[in-house]
């Protein structure tokens, strides 16, 4: 009787030892990092904001950021029907797009050409600000893509309706975002607020987003 107990205990001990040895051979998973919470302010008719939007999407897909995108109307002087892009305005867009191409990483593409119309983005921003949080990233991508990739007038209510952008019954959220953006000082687009309260502007935002993709946060 005593021998049987000893043998059974011995077998259990041997199995435990085998399990421990097996676990020792399994590589430990790297500790999963929590996504970095950032708030980004951008304009749908700004090419730098479009690149920032694409970099944000890349980071979200990799689980590196928890991003809130808050759209703003950067230039309120654009008339409701927009402005044809020609002359000095066309030259400005060309310079900006040329500069952006110099900022691309080797794994980034940016097949964008100068738009034919600079739109008034009030309707787009108002509609975007009214969508539920779980649809915001989809709509942001759709509006940016419609303008920069398809040359559609995102100041047109019919175009926005096709994109699933609602007609906002209130502009409260939109105005709150604008107030936040201007209160940060030296408002430009894009702008980003990092978890420690650091505010990054313009090309600095693009640099920070690129560095976050490399699991680094660099000064800008």
Q: What is the mean pLDDT of residues 130-135?
A: 96
Please, which residues bridge with residue 192 across strands? 40, 200
Cα–Cα dist 150/80, whole Å: 20
**pLDDT band, residue 6 (cuts 50/70/90):** very low
User: According to the model, what pLDDT value does residue 32 have?
Assistant: 61
**pLDDT band, residue 34 (cuts 50/70/90):** confident
Note the pLDDT tens digit of each residue in 85-124: 999 999 999 999 999 999 999 989 999 999 999 999 999 9
**pLDDT band, residue 219 (cuts 50/70/90):** very low
User: According to the model, what pLDDT value does residue 20 have?
Assistant: 42
What ranges do the domains of the chain cover? Answer: 36-213
Cα–Cα dist 182/149, whole Å: 29
Q: Which range has the worst mean pLDDT, 24-38, 121-135, 171-185?
A: 24-38
Query: Buried b vs exposed e over 48-59: b needs ≥16 C-beta within 10 Å?
Result: bbbbbbbbbbbb
Cα–Cα dist 31/170, whole Å: 44
pLDDT exceeds 90 at position 12:
no
Helices (H), the chain: 2-25, 47-61, 87-103, 122-130, 133-148, 157-162, 172-183, 203-213
How far out from the chain centre does Cα 61 lie?
A: 10
Q: What is the pTM of this model?
A: 0.82
**CATH number of this structure's domain 36-213, picked from the four choices 3.40.30.10, 3.40.50.720, 3.30.565.10, 3.60.15.10:** 3.40.30.10
Note the pLDDT tens digit of each residue in 39-62: 999 999 999 999 999 999 999 999
């Amino acid at each position: 009787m005593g021998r049987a107990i000893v043998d059974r205990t011995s077998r259990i001990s041997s199995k435990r030892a085998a399990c421990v040895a097996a676990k020792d051979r399994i590589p430990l998973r790297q500790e999963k990092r929590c996504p970095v919470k950032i708030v980004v302010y951008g304009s749908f008719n700004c090419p730098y904001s479009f690149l920032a939007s694409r970099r944000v999407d890349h980071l979200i897909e990799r689980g590196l950021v928890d991003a809130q995108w808050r759209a703003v109307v950067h230039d309120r002087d654009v008339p409701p029907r927009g402005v044809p892009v020609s002359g000095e305005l066309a030259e400005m867009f060309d310079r900006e797009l040329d500069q952006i191409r110099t900022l691309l990483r080797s794994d980034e593409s940016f097949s964008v050409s100068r738009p034919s119309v600079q739109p008034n983005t009030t309707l787009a921003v108002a509609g975007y600000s009214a969508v539920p949080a779980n649809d915001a990233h989809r709509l942001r991508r759709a509006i940016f893509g419609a303008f920069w990739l398809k040359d559609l007038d995102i100041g047109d209510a019919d175009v926005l309706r096709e994109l699933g952008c609602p007609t906002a019954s209130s502009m409260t959220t939109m105005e709150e975002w604008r107030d936040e953006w201007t209160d940060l000082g030296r408002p430009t687009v894009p702008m980003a607020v990092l978890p420690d309260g650091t505010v990054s502007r313009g090309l600095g935002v693009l640099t920070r987003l690129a560095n976050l993709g490399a699991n680094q946060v660099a000064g800008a």
